[in-house]
């Protein structure tokens, strides 16, 4: 549209009634979604991707089997099951693929459910379902070879049974009785592990002991020669020594702040906890069953400091599938 016609168009906006304004907003939202889907954008890439293996039996012998919902279907020669490239990924059966980018963008901005739903033009229940589909993989996508020096510490969140109708305790009034010191049954420990490159992993310890959770966390995510630093707590010290006493150092009390220019401190971990708590505050309390998803979301945002792209965000959910087409994050 040339500039003079555009100016006329803008002048006409003043004469719209409320219904027409809403209709315009809906149309603009559709235009934005289309503009965000140039050739090679994620929904198109997903639509054209070719799976390497059958998600049911891993067989490589596949044949084309028509299409459904704008996605090609494939049939496995061995198990005869049909599937598309999203089968077996967190994005399977999600509808409205054109608005995933908008949804991912809102998630990167840490938008509320209500705002995300409005931006995508969907109901907030749909937005909620999408959020947790995207997050399911974020929680699992934790770095498995933390290197150099890694810091581990615990931070605590209120145990929350948001949405549960039959509570087996008295409801808390406006957030409860304060976090207080030490561990109590109203708090859920979250054990974090971070190296100095900014990569990390965590465990939400809903049930069971901290030591067992720490044993698992360290065994899964640390390289053998990575130096592990923890505070002086009995549980973490025990787990650190269980893993490798020669690559472990505890920093009780004020030692966790570290001497000037000393690399032995827990400041990376403390800063991560502080930023995580600030970021989580926008959700006004998260149900404990979703806590891991939200922490995974924050970890992912913290790790993608340079490229907060919605494509990259969607790609993470799509990554479990090996596709023959090279996916490029821009
Ligand atoms: Zn198969």
| φ and ψ at residue 181, rounded to 5 degrees | -110, 160
Confidence tier at 215 by pLDDT (50, 70, 90) = very high
What letter would DSSP give residue 246?
G
Helix (H) or strand (E) holding 67: strand 62-68
pLDDT of residue 24: 82
Distance 55 CA to ligand 1 centre (A): 7
| Range with the poorest average pLDDT among 8-12, 53-57, 140-144, 212-216 | 140-144
Q: How far is the CA of 77 from the centre of ligand 1 (A)?
A: 7
pLDDT of residue 323: 37
Pairing mode of beta strands 248-250, 227-230: parallel
Ligand 1 centroid distance, CA of 61 (Å)? 8
Dist. CA 81 → ligand 1 center (Å):
6
118 against 179, higher pLDDT? 118
Residue 88 lies in a domain: no
Residue ranges in the chain assigned as alpha helix (H): 3-12, 18-35, 42-48, 100-108, 113-120, 124-140, 210-221, 234-243, 267-280, 291-303, 310-318
Assess if residue 267 is contained within a domain: yes
Look at residue 279 and tell me if it is in a domain.
Answer: yes
Distance 53 CA to ligand 1 centre (A): 8
CA 155 to chain centre: 19
β-bridge partners, 153: 192
Residue 264 in any domain: the answer is: yes
Which token pair is 144?
A: 């498995």
Between the CA of 177 and the centroid of ligand 1 the distance, in Å, is 54
pLDDT at position 212 is: 93
DSSP of 37-50, one letter per residue? --TT-HHHHHHH--
Distance 220 CA to ligand 1 centre (A): 30
52 CA → ligand 1 middle, Å: 11
Taking the centre of ligand 1 as the mean of its atom positions, its distance from the CA of residue 163, in whole angstroms, is 39
CA distances to 2, 19, 83, 111 from 15, rounded to whole Å, are: 21, 12, 51, 32
pLDDT at 75: 94
Distance in Å, CA 91 to ligand 1 centroid: 20
Residue 191 domain flag:
yes
- Ligand 1 center to residue 70 CA distance, Å? 22
Higher-confidence position of 92 and 174:
92
Is the per-residue pLDDT at 305 higher than 80?
Answer: no
**What three-state secondary structure class fits 267?**
helix
What's the Cα-to-Cα distance from 5 to each of 1, 14, 20, 29, 272, rounded to whole Å?
6, 15, 19, 21, 51
In this structure, is residue 258 part of a structural domain? Answer: yes
Q: How far is the CA of 131 from the centre of ligand 1 (A)?
A: 30
Q: Please give the distance, rounded to the nearest whole angstrom, from the Cα atom of residue 94 to the centre of ligand 1.
A: 22
Mean pLDDT value across the chain:
79
- With respect to residue 11, please indicate whether it lies within any of the assigned structural domains: no
Residue 83, judged by CB atoms within 10 A of its CB (0-12, 13-18, 19+), counts as: buried
Q: What is the distance in A from the centroid of ligand 1 to the CA of 79?
A: 4
Contacts of 109-118 with CB under 8 Å at 24 or more apart are 110/279, 110/282, 110/301, 112/282, 112/283
For the chain, the domain total comes to 1
Query: DSSP label at 280?
Result: H
pLDDT confidence band for 327 (50 / 70 / 90): very low
Range of the domain at 258: 149-302
pLDDT at 38: 47
- pTM value is 0.67
CA torsion, ordered 226, 231, 233, 239, to nearest 10 deg: 0
Residue 43 Cα to ligand 1 middle (Å) = 25
Gap from CA of 73 to ligand 1 centroid (Å): 13
Cα(321) to centroid(ligand 1), Å: 14
Cα of 206 vs centre of ligand 1, distance in Å, is: 37
Instruction: Report the distance separating Cα 222 and Cα 144, nearest Å.
Output: 6
CATH number at residue 287: 3.30.420.10
| Residue 257 domain-assigned (yes or no) | yes
68-112 pLDDT tens trace: 877 789 999 999 999 988 887 767 777 776 677 777 778 777 788
Distance 136 CA to ligand 1 centre (A): 24
What pLDDT is stored for residue 103 in this prediction? 78
Q: What percent of the chain has pLDDT over 70?
A: 76
Q: What is the DSSP string of 146-180?
A: B-SEEEEEEEEEE---TT-SS-SSPPPSTT-S---
Distance 87 CA to ligand 1 centre (A): 12
pLDDT in tens, 17-44: 888 888 888 777 666 655 554 444 556 6
Strand, coil or helix: what is 15?
A: helix
Q: Regarding predicted confidence, which is higher, 327 or 46?
A: 46
The rounded Å distance from CA 318 to ligand 1 centre is: 19
pLDDT the model gives residue 246? 92
């Amino acid at each position: 549209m040339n500039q003079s016609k555009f100016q006329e168009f803008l002048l006409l906006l003043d004469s719209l009634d409320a219904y027409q304004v809403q209709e315009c907003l809906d149309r603009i939202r559709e235009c934005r979604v289309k503009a965000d889907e140039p050739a090679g954008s994620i929904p198109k890439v997903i639509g054209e991707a070719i799976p390497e293996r059958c998600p049911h039996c891993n067989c490589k012998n596949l044949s084309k089997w028509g299409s459904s919902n704008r996605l090609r279907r494939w049939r496995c020669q061995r198990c005869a099951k049909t599937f598309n490239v999203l089968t077996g990924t967190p994005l399977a059966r999600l509808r409205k693929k054109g608005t995933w980018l908008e949804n991912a963008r809102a998630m990167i901005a840490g938008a509320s459910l209500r705002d995300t739903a409005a931006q995508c033009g969907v109901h907030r229940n749909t937005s909620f379902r999408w959020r947790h589909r995207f997050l399911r993989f974020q929680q699992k996508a934790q770095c498995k070879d933390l290197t150099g020096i890694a810091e581990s510490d615990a931070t605590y969140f209120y145990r929350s049974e948001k949405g549960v109708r039959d509570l087996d305790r008295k409801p808390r009034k406006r957030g409860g009785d304060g976090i207080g010191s030490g561990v109590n049954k109203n708090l859920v420990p979250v054990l974090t592990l971070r190296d100095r490159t900014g990569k990390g992993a965590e465990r939400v310890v809903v049930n069971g002991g901290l030591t067992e959770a720490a044993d698992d966390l360290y065994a899964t995510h640390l390289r053998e020669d990575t130096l592990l630093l923890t505070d002086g707590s009995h549980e973490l010290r025990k787990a650190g020594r269980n893993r490798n006493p020669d690559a472990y150092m505890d920093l009780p009390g004020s030692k966790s702040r570290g001497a000037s220019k000393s690399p032995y401190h827990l400041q990376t971990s403390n800063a991560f906890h502080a930023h995580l708590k600030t970021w989580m505050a926008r959700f006004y309390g998260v149900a404990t069953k979703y806590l891991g998803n939200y922490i995974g979301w924050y970890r992912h945002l913290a790790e993608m400091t340079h490229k907060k792209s919605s494509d990259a965000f969607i790609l993470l959910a799509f990554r479990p599938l090996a596709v023959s087409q090279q996916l490029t994050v821009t």
